Structure 1
Amino acid sequence: MEKSGGPPEYQPAPTVAYQPQPAGQMYPDMQQQAPQQTVVIQQPTSTVTTVVTQQPTAMVGWSTGLCDCFQDVKSCLCSFICGNFYYATLATRMGENCCVGCSGYGAGCVPGGHMAMRSRLRGTHGIQGTICDDCIMASFCLPCAMCQLSREMDKLGYSPNC
């Protein structure tokens, strides 16, 4: 081997016969694998809907009229003579704080207290009327409305007045 400053001499590569493979068999010794996919199958569920049909209860009127104050003279006198105290007593009978009853006659502890008490009693016991009616009664007929509320509570079995 002679040493010279030129590039080394390379032997030519041996000739290899090439046979093209049929399509799909480029690498016969390797099996093609399909990419793996995670499939989530959601099982069908059944939904049961229960419909409860309740017959509407018939609304009833107040058992006594607004101007039937003399059917219960005690509540009539209490509402006209010492209205705030009587009003606090009615609130206590309904299970409310006595201050709710202080809204009568301008004491102003809870504005709209009488209207709220009438609305609650009506809603609880299915008595006909509207919040507008309750507002008018509380604004213009408070002593008579208190008497009516007391008589209704007596009829419905609320604990008696003191």
Structure 2
Amino acid sequence: MTTPTPVVEDGQVTAGSSSRRGPRADRPRARRSFTPAQKQAYLDGYEAARAIGDGEGYLRREGLYSSLMSEWRRARDAGLLEGKSDGAPVGRPSAEQAEIARLKRELEVTRSKLATTETALDIMGKARELLASISKSEQERQDEQQRGPR
């Protein structure tokens, strides 16, 4: 067990650890702000990192929160990040913009499922043709055996 080491701050001696003073020991940090282009770049980087399983690591390295990514993704999907100048406020999507973004995401999911279903049906059709071909050749072989050698 370690005992706190006395620390001298502003001429006063206080109990504390000299090795670790905390994140706000100097002063509070200024709030960061991001341009729409930066938000889009962070979103792209985060989504690429998530694709390889390192989304949380990316957020830690960049000093960002997952709630920011969610908020920025909603804004991007609602079209609020497109065509904005660097100083322009982005704001939150209106109810209509949020609904449009939700429907766009739903449409993409539906299109993906449709493509998968079409591929599966194509494979099933080819498998059916193969089985019919095998069945036909087997039937021809049996008919030839019944007729006997010539």
TM tier, shorter chain? under 0.3
Larger relative contact order, structure 1 or 2 (CA cutoff 8 Å, min sep 6): 1
TM-score (norm 2): 0.20
Between Structure 1 and Structure 2, the one with more helix by share is: 2
Between Structure 1 and Structure 2, the one with more strand by share is: 2
- Larger CA Rg, structure 1 vs 2: 1
TM-score (norm 1): 0.19
